[in-house]
Amino acid sequence: MITRFTYLFIALTSLTFLNQTRFKKEDLLGQDKLNFYDESIRLLPEAGKAFVAMREAALEEGIEIEIVSAYRSYERQKFIWNRKFYSNAKKGISPKENINKIIEYSTLPGTSRHHWGTDIDIIDGKKPKEGDLLLEEKFHENGPYVRLREWMEKNANRFGFYLPYTDSPKREGFNYEPWHYSFAPLSIPMLEEYLKLDLINLLTPNDLSGKSCIDEKFLESYINQNVLGINPKLKDF
């Protein structure tokens, strides 16, 4: 049985890890390979331990928390960005509109929380996998992942996981993502360190599609609205 003492142990372990580790720029930008809990759970070890504890608790109630996406490298995020930009451009969407459409859900490479090994996209593995899995409607009304969402809303916080992109009308930035959770004991201090980087000069590589529209003004707005447009509980510096 998972108790509050179990989570307290996980949290204290994470704090010990933080005291022993300095986050490198490459780690924060997704440009270096992290030390994962294991290859099937591509999270930092402390986040992986908490995830396993949470998954076991959910299984007791017939819910199988399955990770669809965890760690994502800078290169992988850049591939996703360029693929979406190219697909939208083929439909005749202008570069500026194209970027605004992409950042409804997808991040600029170097800004994804998935770079940190702390964040997960999840579904209920006991349900059939049909079409796009990470759609809002699948987590609401008669969708297959409603019980998962309800269980996570009730229990995830006690394992250290919080929803970054809530449905709060006061939040700016990326659209609501009921499938995305972040391990707060690590992601909070990582965000704090991330914001100390010279992001304006780090986030526009030469081979990024739409680069001509990504200027300093855009990046300042993007950082304020998208990077920081998250659940306030994940900004508790």
77-96 pLDDT, tens digit per residue, is 999 999 999 999 999 999 99
pTM of the model: 0.90
- Print burial letters for 35-52: b (CB count within 10 Å at least 16), e (below 16): ebbeeebbbbbbbbbbbb
Structure tokens that stand for 117 in this block: 């090994």
CB atoms within 10 A of CB 14: 23
Q: Which tens digits make up the pLDDT trace of 31-74?
A: 998 999 999 999 999 999 999 999 999 999 999 999 999 999 99
Q: What does the pLDDT average to over 120-148? A: 97
How many residues are listed for the chain in this entry? 237
Q: What CATH class has 4-230?
A: alpha beta
At residue 38, the 3 state secondary structure works out as: strand
| Domain ranges within the chain, ordered by starting residue | 4-230
The CA distance from 158 to 149, in Å, is 15
Residue 20 binned pLDDT confidence (cut-offs 50, 70, 90): very low
Whether pLDDT at 99 is above 50: yes
Count of alpha carbons within 13 Å of 211, Cβ hemisphere only?
12
User: What is the percent of the chain with per-residue pLDDT over 70, rounded to a whole number?
Assistant: 91
